[in-house]
Amino acid sequence: MRLGIAVDSRMCMACYCCFTACKDEHCGFASALTAKQPMMGQKWVDVREWERGDNSRKIKTASVPTMCAHCADPACAKAGKDGAVYKRDDGIVIIDPVKAKGQKEIVDACPIDAIFWNEELELAQKCTMCAELLDDPEYLAYLGDPKLKMPRCVEACPNNALIFGDLDDPNSEISKLVARERNTQLEALEGQETNVKWLNVPTVFLAGTVYHPAEMEEVFIGAKVKLVCETGETFETETNYFGDWEVEFLPKNKKFDITVNAEGYAPVSYTAVTDADHYVASTYLAK
């Protein structure tokens, strides 16, 4: 069994229910697996948000709940001494609240800044995937279904942006989701195996608007837009009822040749680079 959480960025609406549930569970409450979380200064579930786009014509936001990745080969465990950080048989990575005392290097080792330093206790702390609850035979026992045991953040998410389960079971909901959706590992964890799986995290988009000839003052619905990357990859879409087009999940820092075509109109071509999200052009077609 390998327990994990799938984080689907596409479904996150930044409601902070996960963050609040984590605080509710761990602030002021300690267990054998962790000291109590301070009320301020620590985000064991950090909903990281950013604004996307470089033009007022196309601005949107993205949000990615970020917690300890529970790495298969944890950098924090290598930094800790005397077994201060260990990985359980179920894959959950735990910082021992006794052995880790005074070892601030554990915090510095995390590549995604998901470990925090408790100044009062001189202790590194992070998400435990609510292992203390998962281990408790009384937790949710009144519902009569042990499968309903899950971390508090997952339990609180109203939009199914967080899914918990056994990654070693191909028939589990989490395994099916990971197999079906776009896996987008956090850049700082690239190449590493983790038990938290990030899905559909945005990379960059290119977007634009297509119009009929300028004198008509009318958007063009159904124009064909083709993007050809310098690597040879091709992406195609068409304009919607507002004349807009957008292609998401493009590779970063690549040059694209963009062509807009519509039957009976001269094609229009231009280039763009995916160094960031761009609204690249308002295009007027000509007969």
Sheet holding 255-261, edge to edge: 234-238, 224-229, 255-261, 268-273
Strand ranges, E, within the chain: 3-8, 46-55, 58-66, 85-87, 93-95, 116-118, 123-125, 162-166, 196-199, 204-211, 224-229, 234-238, 244-250, 255-261, 268-273, 278-284
Ranges of H-type helices in the chain: 17-26, 75-79, 105-109, 131-134, 152-156, 173-180
- Please state, in angstroms and rounded to a whole number, the distance separating the CA atoms of residues 32 and 103: 18
End-to-end CA distance of the chain: 63
At residue 143, the pLDDT reads 54
Class of domain 204-284: mainly beta
- Please state, in angstroms and rounded to a whole number, the distance separating the CA atoms of residues 92 and 113: 17
Closest by Cα among 117, 141, 113, 131 to 5: 131
Tell me, yes or no, if the pTM score tops 0.85: yes
At residue 77, the pLDDT reads 97
At residue 139, the pLDDT reads 80
At residue 222, the pLDDT reads 97
- Please state, in angstroms and rounded to a whole number, the distance separating the CA atoms of residues 96 and 121: 13
Domain boundaries defined on the chain: 3-199, 204-284
- Please state, in angstroms and rounded to a whole number, the distance separating the CA atoms of residues 242 and 208: 11
Phi, psi of 176 (to 5 degrees): -65, -40
At residue 57, the pLDDT reads 82
At residue 61, the pLDDT reads 92
- CATH topology match: 3-199 vs 204-284: no
Class of domain 3-199: alpha beta
pLDDT tens digit at each of 287 positions of the chain:
999 999 999 999 999 999 999 999 999 889 999 999 998 999 999 999 999 999 878 899 999 999 999 999 999 999 999 999 999 999 999 999 999 999 999 999 999 999 999 999 999 999 999 999 999 887 875 455 656 789 999 999 999 999 999 999 999 999 999 999 999 999 999 999 999 999 999 999 999 999 999 888 899 999 999 999 999 999 999 999 999 999 999 999 999 999 999 999 999 999 999 999 999 989 999 98
